[in-house]
Amino acid sequence: MVADEKTCMQFSIRRPKLPSSETHPEESMYRRLDVAAWLRHLNALGQVEEEYKLRKAIFFGGIDVSIRGEVWPFLLRYYSHESTSEEREALRVQKRKEYAEIQQKRLSMTPEEHRAFWRNVQFTVDKDVVRTDRSNQFFRGEGNPNVESMRRILLNYAVYNPAIGYSQGMSDLVAPILAEVLDESDTFWCFVGLMQNTIFVSSPRDEDMEKQLLYLRELLRLTHARFYQHLVSLGEDGLQMLFCHRWLLLCFKREFPEAEALRIWEACWAHYQVSQAGTPGIRAGQDARITGHLLWGPLAPPCLAPHRPHSAPHTATAF
């Protein structure tokens, strides 16, 4: 408490409103992808038609919560857009078997292997899962079985991909997927797709983090010159941009309300490429959705950037 109340200061937070000249010309033209719109993209066999138009619709309009669990596996490369409904069901059966084999491998470790695994992986996973998204109804409460499902997914992933193992932050990436996809095996393979097609930053000192910050500095230089010059005036400490590390490590998950963060994620997973010439195209990055997209550049934000498909008809503006 401040002794003299007259010295107290009040602050208010204002959300920036961009003029239409600084937003994408197709902004606000697309509604959220709902059940009816999603079904229009599926043919009689359940194959996705006009994939590019679908990705564009998701990028601009987002996905209705009711169908995220059905659409996200496509965005995360678990399902192929060319697959039929029958083929996807057969894939799920096959992948459940593979997932069970991975788990059995973990449970069949020798005592020595288990001690090493506990020390290098399980100890950290056990600490992280009990404090990840516990305000979410899906993970709330003591003895919640969904927390144990998340734990198994992360432990099994470390067995499946020992080269990566587990790093703090992975629980924050897998939790929203599990909450939407629901099935443990399906979530595991969606997470595998996410990790295979992204650049995961395992620590603030990681070389990938430095590259991310390099691109972010360039974005700031082009879009917010005054703020960039302020950072320059602070010297090396300012340009280290420590306040941005969590943005990149957790893909903005804790910087926005959950609904907005997931909206950013799926917009980037949609992989719609924006190509506009020069600075106006970069300025559009001030919109939260397009910011995540333009940050792809030569190197993408850790969890938001699947590798660009060669068939994409547009390319992001290069620096």
Q: What's the CATH class of domain 85-196?
A: mainly alpha
DSSP states along 80-99? -TT--HHHHHHHHHHHHHHH
> What is the average pLDDT across 220-249?
90
Q: Are 166 and 191 in contact (CB under 8 A)?
A: no
State residue 194's pLDDT score. 93
pLDDT number for residue 287: 41
Q: What percentage of the chain exceeds 70 in pLDDT? A: 77
Looking at per-residue pLDDT, the higher value among 263 and 250 belongs to 263
> What pLDDT was estimated at residue 4?
55
Beta bridge partners of 63: 33
DSSP 218-275: HHHHHH-HHHHHHHHHT-HHHHH-GGGHHHHHTTTTTTS-HHHHHHHHHHHHTTPPP-
Position 14 scores a pLDDT of 64
Quick check: 125 and 172 in contact, CB under 8 A?
Answer: no
Per-residue pLDDT of 145-195, as tens digits, reads 999 999 999 999 999 999 999 998 899 999 999 999 999 999 999 999 999
> Which ranges in the chain are annotated with CATH 1.10.8.270?
85-196
**CA 219 – CA 285 distance, rounded (Å):** 8
Q: How many CB atoms lie within 10 A of CB 240?
A: 16
| The pLDDT of residue 174 | 97
State pLDDT tens for residues 271-280.
Answer: 886 443 333 3
Average pLDDT of 117-135?
Answer: 97
